[in-house]
Amino acid sequence: MLAIDVEKRLGDFALTVRFKTAGGVTALFGASGAGKTTLVNMIAGLIAPDRGRIRLDDTVLFDSAARIDVSAHRRRIGYVFQEGRLFPHLSVAANLDYGRRMCGLARDGAETARILDLLDIGHLLDRRPGKLSGGERQRVAFGRALLMRPRLLLLDEPLASLDAPRKREILPYLEKLRDEVPMVYVSHHAPELKRIATSVVLLDAGRVAATGGIEVLDAATAELMG
């Protein structure tokens, strides 16, 4: 369970967000500029809120009153970025193994094989990220984040850089990931979220406009359509 109650000011933009998730896949939905990425970066520990608390299960990750700010590398929160951000100087195999090495986890061949199989990336291990297609790159990014055995997986528009056929190619893999680990899934694309989300937090101009099940998406899209 993820509990968030934060405030952050960035220039003219103010973010005031409070919500709780019950696990599963939480969609962070909203127009661009609503503060989705800022919020996700706060959960990951890449930027610090001005005030507030972030709690994951029974661990306090951030608490301005108690002066707690667990640094990003200790949070064990997987993050799949929009552009993948694979390390260009490492092979796919070394990219996938990076989180395990840095977190000091024992090698688990069976688990690795299962995830390679799940994402269908076993044949890419010797390649460099520069030689991968967009879809392959994103699947490797999923694998890299999963293999550090995260407590939570953050996905920031993981399909936004892909064209429609690539999106259709990746979505089934994402559906398979749903049961692996709780996720926070950022997107401004409602159809994508409908297929994968179990609950929805609607952000608008730095505030929570609505929370609920995927019916929130319908209401929000209807409103956008006017």
Nearest distance from residue 123's CB to another protein, in Å? 15
Q: Is position 219 an interface residue for another protein (rule: CB under 8 A)? A: no
**Among residues 207, 219, 158, which one has the least CA distance to residue 18?**
207
**Residue 29 and residue 24: Cα distance in Å, rounded?**
15
One character per residue 189-218, x = contact with another protein (rule: CB under 8 A): ------------------------------
Nearest distance from residue 105's CB to another protein, in Å? 9
Give 219: exposed, middle or buried? Use CB within 10 Å, 0-12, 13-18, 19+. middle
CB nearer to another protein: pick between 18 and 151: 151
Q: Which stretch binds another protein (CB under 8 A): 8-16, 31-39, 125-133, 193-201?
A: 125-133
What are residue 183's phi and psi, to 5 degrees? -135, 150
Coil, strand or helix at 188: coil
CB nearer to another protein: pick between 99 and 135: 99
**What is the bridge-based pairing of β-strands 152-156 and 183-187?**
parallel
CB nearer to another protein: pick between 77 and 202: 77
Helices 134-146 and 164-177 cross at an angle (nearest 10°) of: 20
Q: Is position 78 an interface residue for another protein (rule: CB under 8 A)? A: yes
Reading the block at residue 156, the tokens are 């920031």
Q: Is position 107 an interface residue for another protein (rule: CB under 8 A)? A: no
**Residue 140 and residue 120: Cα distance in Å, rounded?**
9
Identified binder of another protein from the candidate list 128, 166, 178, 195, rule CB under 8 A: 128
CB nearer to another protein: pick between 9 and 131: 131
Tell me the residue type at 170: I
CB nearer to another protein: pick between 37 and 199: 37
Give every CB contact of residue 70 below 8 A, 6+ residues apart in sequence. 45, 59, 60, 61, 62
Identified binder of another protein from the candidate list 87, 123, 133, 224, rule CB under 8 A: 87
Q: Is position 139 an interface residue for another protein (rule: CB under 8 A)? A: no
Q: Name the residues that contact another protein, by CB under 8 A.
A: 44-46, 71-79, 81, 83, 85, 87-89, 98-99, 102-104, 126-128, 130-131, 144-145, 148
